[in-house]
A and B are shown apart, each in its own frame.
Chain A
Amino acid sequence: MATTQAHTAADHDHHDHKPHGIGRWLYATNHKDIGTMYLVFACIMFFVGGTMALIIRAELFQPGLQFVDPAFFNSMTTMHALVMIFGAVMPAWTGLANWMIPMQVGAPDMALPRLNNFSFWILPFAFTLLLATLFVPGGAPAGGWTMYPPLVLQTGDAFPFLIFAIHLMGASSILGAINVVVTVMNMRAPGVGLLNMPLFVWTWLITAYLLIATMPVLAGAVTMLLTDHFFGTTFFAASGGGDPVMFQHIFWFFGHPEVYILILPAFGIISEIIPAFSRKPLFGYGAMVYASASIAFLSFIVWAHHMFTVGMPLAGQLFFMLSTMLIAIPTGVKVFNWTATMWRGSLTFEAPMLFALSFLFLFTIGGFSGLMLAIVPADFQYQDSYFVVAHFHYVLVPGAVFAIMAAVYFWLPKWTGNMYNTALAKWHFWLSTIGVNILFFPQHFLGLAGMPRRIPDYATQFTDWNMVSSVGAFIFGFSQLMFPYIIWKCVKGGEKIGNRAWEGARGLEWELPSPAPYHSWEEAPSRELIARGAQH
């Protein structure tokens, strides 16, 4: 014992000595620092993208053109999507992975700390490029985040900025994903088996594989756009033997796995939070793992349901309709297991649990509207309408975003050592949940009534529900300001908490002191601790 301590005395000497000043962040290799940077970046982008959303909703409050011209409106819809997907949700997941995965698998850090630094620092450059397009001649990209040619090829000077920004975001995600896979595969503490890992780690591992498999395909697709625009290739130009529909196939081959990249880590989060506040082990751990893997596999064979109306052979429509509906089965398994976990549990309703429950209900609504969209003849009516907008916002806002907030409220005490203002967090929850439903539920009605998406003006019969939706947007948008405020106050101070912030929380991260030390699990956790932390 004494020799061990002497041996590691040097390590312990700098144990809590963090590098100071800006250098700590620029040269960061500590997973917690990098995780924090990812989360702060995601939060900033969430408000940038949210501002764009409020511009959209302000314009749509009533028919006619009030605030912005149509070209700028189209830029707003395009940029809102790109910023929220690649700037807010994906970096937030990577940030949570950085913070939690090493602590949850008993590893001292991520496997590739310098790569980790690099993959984060790419992001500010990527988004500087992207947001700079707001100020270039021709305006920001306005052809939709899906970048369909030939429309996107008409983008002005912003075009190469858009392409290179996508390249950079893709590179960042791929590097981040490689880091997660290597960490999970090689860095688990002795005794932490693959089928013993917390579900957040599992879902992130699957997500990482999806990222590595599909982000390069997107990079290829936008590279083809770039060469079509500048170097005379005709991948997507019929005048040279290409086909614009091919872009849609390649894009959605990336795009559909991408939607699971956005939601799978959320499934992991919910699978951690619901057992903690039900004071019961997760129901059907193995089924959850296999369901996640099935969803990931199926995500590769459903892409054409995004493009039923391009003119596809009947056999193709049937195949993609049925494979899409198949996804409802593993997803149903998950929803069932979460519900069964709560069955006869001792439930309490702290902020993370509230967000998780809201996720459960509202994500399921988004899942059902997704099933409606999977039906080919119905999709012919719904496609490109506000029904689609309502669908994917239900799965992404009260889905992915609520899960991120649930995760932050769940682990914030572990990160800071302080309990946040729980009353304020509940206010944040109720305003968010009520706001998000006022915002997006009426959009189902608008879509079914025939209002197309991506338009700055609309027929007068759509006015009432648009007004309701815009009111909801402002309630939701402004209530989000509470989120950074609550976090900031918690970082500054608050009621001290012990190792285990929540009575029912299980897992290795709760065996560490609060706040989590700068270097954790430098010595691997004992098997006894692992057994205590095991969730099933």
Chain B
Amino acid sequence: MTNEIQQQPDDDGSDGELRGSALNRANSQLTLRLALFAVGAFAFGFALVPLYSVLCTLTGYGDQTTLSEKRVVAEAPDEARLVTVEFLADLPSVGNWEFRPLKKSMQVHPGKLYEINYVAHNLTGRDTVAQAVPNVSPGQAVAYFRKTECFCFTPQNFAIDEQRPMPVRFIVDPNLPRIVDRITLSYTFYDSATLVGLR
């Protein structure tokens, strides 16, 4: 099966190309570098988790430290401006709880203190602890939506079949960007059975 087309150039590899053990060494080195690259990419996948938190803090979107923080602010109503605030309530699974806001939405003046009540009803059949995790949309509004009191600040104890209203007091900061005319406040209500770790 020798064929004439496979003639080697006469000079013995002096054209600088890799042969023999030099080739093996070069192959091992490049393989090692690429393998390290792959390991680095794996680590990068996990590094995306803290990077994501940093990005959330920077943009305010889903930033739990700001969202679950009590922030006191003096009242300075801006009667000329109206912003719609919508209220959402979510449960990770259905059946064990009743959880809803008493109002779907309200019109508010920035700089004025308002109160809205959520109501929760423990249907789990046992004494339990639950925690609400808040979110605010759009992300630009997070820094300007200040809660002076919220049931989301601390875990809530509930007796069997207990039902009670839970107040939220909030002020929309008058510095809220003009482009935002509608803010959505949402809570997801986790029972201790599904709650993995209290922040």
Q: Which residues of A contact B45 (CB under 8 A)?
A: 216-221, 250, 253
Q: Which residues of A contact B18 (CB under 8 A)?
A: 186
> Is A325 interfacial (CB-CB < 8 Å)?
no
Per the bound structure, the CA–CA distance linking A249 and B56 in Å amounts to 13
Q: How far is the CB of B97 from chain A (nearest CB, A)?
A: 13
Contact B34 A212 (CB under 8 A): yes
Q: How far is the CB of A210 from chain B (nearest CB, A)?
A: 11
> Is B163 interfacial (CB-CB < 8 Å)?
no
Q: Contact string, B1-30, partner A, CB cutoff 8 A, digits 1/0?
A: 111011111000101111000010011001
Contact B34 A178 (CB under 8 A): yes
Interface residue from B1, B2, B5, B140 paired with A529 (Cβ < 8 Å): B5
Per the bound structure, the CA–CA distance linking A186 and B40 in Å amounts to 23
Contact A240 B3 (CB under 8 A): no
Contact B35 A239 (CB under 8 A): no
Per the bound structure, the CA–CA distance linking A296 and B67 in Å amounts to 38
Q: How far is the CB of B33 from chain A (nearest CB, A)?
A: 9
Of all chain B residues, which has the CB nearest A150?
Answer: B92
Looking at the complex, which of A230-238, A266-274, A486-494 is the stretch in contact with chain B?
A230-238
Task: Enumerate B131-152 residues with CB–CB distance to A below 8 Å.
Answer: 131, 133, 137-140
- Given contacts A12-B2, A178-B38, A216-B39, is CB(A241)–CB(B30) below 8 Å? no
Of all chain A residues, which has the CB nearest B17?
Answer: A190
Per the bound structure, the CA–CA distance linking A246 and B51 in Å amounts to 10
Contact A240 B34 (CB under 8 A): no
- Given contacts A216-B45, A311-B138, A313-B139, is CB(A16)–CB(B1) below 8 Å? yes
Per the bound structure, the CA–CA distance linking A31 and B16 in Å amounts to 25
> Is A496 interfacial (CB-CB < 8 Å)?
no
Contact A253 B196 (CB under 8 A): no
Contact B30 A246 (CB under 8 A): no
- Given contacts A4-B8, A239-B190, is CB(A190)–CB(B15) below 8 Å? yes
- Given contacts A16-B1, A234-B197, A241-B64, is CB(A525)–CB(B6) below 8 Å? yes
> Is A18 interfacial (CB-CB < 8 Å)?
no
> Is B157 interfacial (CB-CB < 8 Å)?
no
Contact B6 A239 (CB under 8 A): no
Contact A513 B34 (CB under 8 A): no
Q: Which residues of A contact B34 (CB under 8 A)?
A: 177-178, 181-182, 212
Per the bound structure, the CA–CA distance linking A511 and B56 in Å amounts to 58
Contact B92 A239 (CB under 8 A): yes
Of all chain B residues, which has the CB nearest A222?
Answer: B45
> Is A289 interfacial (CB-CB < 8 Å)?
no
Q: How far is the CB of A55 from chain B (nearest CB, A)?
A: 31
> Is A24 interfacial (CB-CB < 8 Å)?
no
Interface residue from A12, A187, A189 paired with B1 (Cβ < 8 Å): A12
Number of interface residues, chain A, beta carbon within 8 A: 60
> Is A111 interfacial (CB-CB < 8 Å)?
yes
Q: Which residues of B contact A177 (CB under 8 A)?
A: 34
Looking at the complex, which of A349-357, A370-378, A515-523 is the stretch in contact with chain B?
A515-523
Contact B3 A513 (CB under 8 A): yes
> Is A526 interfacial (CB-CB < 8 Å)?
yes
> Is B62 interfacial (CB-CB < 8 Å)?
yes
Q: Contact string, B186-199, partner A, CB cutoff 8 A, digits 1/0?
A: 00101000111101
Q: Which residues of A contact B37 (CB under 8 A)?
A: 212-213
Contact B48 A253 (CB under 8 A): yes
Q: Which residues of B contact A166 (CB under 8 A)?
A: none
Per the bound structure, the CA–CA distance linking A426 and B136 in Å amounts to 59
Contact B133 A238 (CB under 8 A): yes
Contact B6 A186 (CB under 8 A): no
Per the bound structure, the CA–CA distance linking A177 and B37 in Å amounts to 12
Per the bound structure, the CA–CA distance linking A403 and B59 in Å amounts to 43
Q: Which residues of A contact B64 (CB under 8 A)?
A: 241
Q: Which residues of A contact B137 (CB under 8 A)?
A: 311
> Is A5 interfacial (CB-CB < 8 Å)?
yes
Per the bound structure, the CA–CA distance linking A499 and B92 in Å amounts to 66
Contact A190 B9 (CB under 8 A): yes
Contact B1 A517 (CB under 8 A): yes
Task: Enumerate A195-241 residues with CB–CB distance to B below 8 Å.
Answer: 212-221, 224, 232, 234-235, 237-241
Contact B52 A249 (CB under 8 A): yes
Contact A217 B30 (CB under 8 A): no
Per the bound structure, the CA–CA distance linking A290 and B92 in Å amounts to 48
For the complex of A and B, the 8 pairs showing the least CB-CB separation, nearest first, are A220-B45, A240-B196, A216-B42, A216-B41, A217-B45, A190-B17, A239-B190, A523-B8
Q: List 26 A-B contacts (CB under 8 A).
A: A4-B8, A12-B2, A15-B1, A16-B1, A150-B92, A182-B27, A182-B30, A185-B30, A186-B18, A186-B26, A189-B17, A190-B17, A212-B41, A216-B42, A220-B46, A224-B46, A224-B49, A235-B49, A238-B188, A238-B190, A239-B194, A245-B62, A311-B137, A311-B138, A511-B5, A526-B8
B contacts, CB < 8 Å to A: 1-3, 5-9, 13, 15-18, 23, 26-27, 30-31, 34-35, 37-46, 48-49, 52, 56, 59, 61-62, 64, 92, 131, 133, 137-140, 188, 190, 194-197, 199
